[in-house]
Amino acid sequence: MSTENGWSDAHTSLMTLRERLADFNRQRDWPKFHTPKDLAIALSVEVAELLEFFLWRAEPDEKDAAAVQEELADVMICLVNLTQRLDVDLLAAVEEKIATNALRYPVDKAKGRAEKYNRLP
Ligand SMILES: [Mg+2]
């Protein structure tokens, strides 16, 4: 899937998204509202809105697919706004976390298991 302007996971960088969101927010004079606290709360609220589609069912209804997609986008927007405000390089942080998780969850101990790392055999 891609948008009319060609945006897609495969062809748009996180830096492009950061710049687009920064422009969007600046044009509306919103950065003054973007405290870390409020951005973190907004992120949590958007995640809760996403969770509503899973509440009391195994999967979201097919009729809600577009709304689920919108909430996923809201989560990403809030996350990117928060990382921008905190000056966090999100992809570098993710790469570091994957490396940490690789140590915590070695394949020979974690494969096919759902326990937290401190409960693995
Ligand atoms: Mg929302």
Cβ atoms of 25 and 19 closer than 8 Å: no
Mean pLDDT within 103-113: 96
CA of 81 to the centre of ligand 1 (A): 14
Mean pLDDT within 19-24: 97
Q: What is the pLDDT of residue 67?
A: 98
Q: What is the pLDDT of residue 6?
A: 83
Cβ atoms of 47 and 72 closer than 8 Å: no
CA of 39 to the centre of ligand 1 (A): 13
Mean pLDDT within 40-68: 96
Residue 9 or 110, more confident:
110
CA of 44 to the centre of ligand 1 (A): 10
CA of 121 to the centre of ligand 1 (A): 40
CA of 9 to the centre of ligand 1 (A): 20
> DSSP string spanning 25-93?
HHHTT-GGG--HHHHHHHHHHHHHHHHTTTTTSSS--GGGHHHHHHHHHHHHHHHHHHHHHTT--HHHH
CA of 71 to the centre of ligand 1 (A): 5
Q: What is the pLDDT of residue 31?
A: 97
CA of 69 to the centre of ligand 1 (A): 10
Half-sphere exposure of 100 (CA within 13 A, CB side): 6
End-to-end CA distance of the chain: 41
Tokens 């919103």: give the residue.
Answer: 30
